[in-house]
Amino acid sequence: MQKLKFSEDLCKGCGLCVSACPKKILELDTSRVNSKGYNPVICSNEDACISCAFCATMCPDLVISVDK
C-alpha cells in the first residue's frame, strides 16, 4: 500500500520534511525540478516509513499526506 502522497508541484524544496523524518528516508531529488523550478522531495524507501506523519506536519505547504 502506498503510504505517502506528494503534491509535488507545491514543493519548494525547503528540506524541512527531510530533517523531520526519523527514518531518514526523505530527500530532495536533485536530478529534476517541479513546475515551480524546485527540486521536489521524494521518498527513497517507503517500506521503512512508520507513518508518523512528522513530515506532513512540518511541511508549510501541505505537500505531503500520509496514509496510516
The site for ligand SF4 (CB under 6 A) is made up of 4, 11-17, 20-23, 25-26, 41, 43, 49-55, 58-59, 61, 63-64, 66
CB 29 within 8 A of CB 13: no
CA 22, 25, 26, 30 torsion-angle sign: positive
**Least distance between ligand SF4 and beta carbon 40 (Å):** 7
CB of 68 to ligand SF4, least distance (A): 9
* Residue 3 · residue 46 · CB < 8 Å: yes
Q: What's the closest the beta carbon of residue 35 comes to ligand SF4, in angstroms?
A: 13
